[in-house]
Amino acid sequence: MLFKPAAAAALLASSAVARSVFPRASGNATRICGTPEPTEQQIAASQAMLAKEREMRAKGEFRTLRSLTVNLYFHVVASGTNVDDGYLTQQMIDDQLDVMNADYGPHGITFNLVSTDFTINANWAADGDEIAMKRALRKGTYSDLNVYLLGDLGGGLLGYCYFPDNVSTGSTEFYLDGCTVLGASVPGGSAAPYNLGGTVVHEVGHWMNLYHTFQGGCSSPGDSIDDTPAQASASSGCPVGRDSCPAAGVDPIHNYMDYSDDACYEEFTPDQEDRMYSSWSTYRS
């Protein structure tokens, strides 16, 4: 379920012990992602993908699909036409696209911006009626990425997205698909230290079927990825050297699927790349 204000406050408190090395804007104590927990069925499907990926690596085989282009639709939803109302400039949109392509590009994934639309609706801008907004604004097929940039998600929430699944075109799940992100987190926004575009990159990772690196804590199967060391809980700031689990490897604080500050983000791993392609072939191609 989504982290609404009460749960968000609890997460803020539990993450406060992690050391921060970047200046922080008032009220932004740690990153908060509202992506729903993966279901048992989704985890089982990820485990099946993992088994297949391991088999291919053991045989020295390579996946057939080496690159892909994702059609992208940005939807800016604000309460007014000023940046303080959640409205974004074209430059901010262009800069966010550049960040996405810079971070996913090394993995052969490119985003093609098809269109950007702007809607003034105070209720939608506050994430007041998700399904009505998405039914009105969503474009494209299940292979196309819709990103909704809203003025205020409430409770310190930076964004949420939905894992891919087997859905029918026109179903509620089809319309919910996509990522909802705080507009102030794009480059040039006011949500420091989360205003370099990393939130969209993180949420799109969920859309590509990546879990948080701290999924399941120190327990197996964790995030169902072999080359992300186990992590007991989300990071905050950029706590270099943090090692929260007894298994080998320090916490992957530079991974886009942790909760680190934007300036700390650096990478997806090779196995995460494989998972994105496995999931694309399974659900979105």
| pTM recorded for the entire structure | 0.90
Q: 176 has which bridge partners?
A: none
What stretches of the chain show up as alpha helix (H) in DSSP? 5-15, 40-59, 90-104, 122-125, 130-137, 172-176, 198-207, 270-279
**Residue 140 neighbours by CB distance under 10 Å:** 15
Residue 14 has pLDDT above 70, yes or no: no
Average pLDDT score over residue span 122-135: 97
At residue 29 the predicted structure's pLDDT band, cuts being 50, 70 and 90, is low
Predicted local distance difference test score (pLDDT) of residue 193:
96
Q: What are the pLDDT digits (tens) for 87-113?
A: 999 999 999 999 999 999 999 999 999
C-alpha distances out from residue 108 to 164, 231, 245, 273, Å: 19, 27, 32, 9
Predicted local distance difference test score (pLDDT) of residue 17:
26
Catalytic residue among 203, 266, 267, 273: 203
Going 199 to 212 to 270 to 236, the CA torsion angle's sign is positive
CA-CA distance, 186 to 191, in Å (whole number)? 8
Q: What are the pLDDT digits (tens) for 219-240?
A: 999 999 999 999 999 999 999 9
CB 283 within 8 A of CB 215: no
Structure tokens that stand for 41 in this block: 């069925």
130 as an active site residue: the answer is: no
Q: What are the pLDDT digits (tens) for 186-219?
A: 999 999 999 999 999 999 999 999 999 999 999 9
What percentage of the chain exceeds 90 in pLDDT? 88
Residue 276 has pLDDT above 90, yes or no: yes
Predicted local distance difference test score (pLDDT) of residue 30:
75
**Cβ density class 152-170: b for 16+ within 10 Å, e for less:** bbebbbbbbbbbbbebeee
- Phi, psi torsion values for 133, nearest 5 degrees: -60, -45
- Phi, psi torsion values for 283, nearest 5 degrees: -115, -30
CB 95 within 8 A of CB 256: no
Residue 4 has pLDDT above 50, yes or no: no
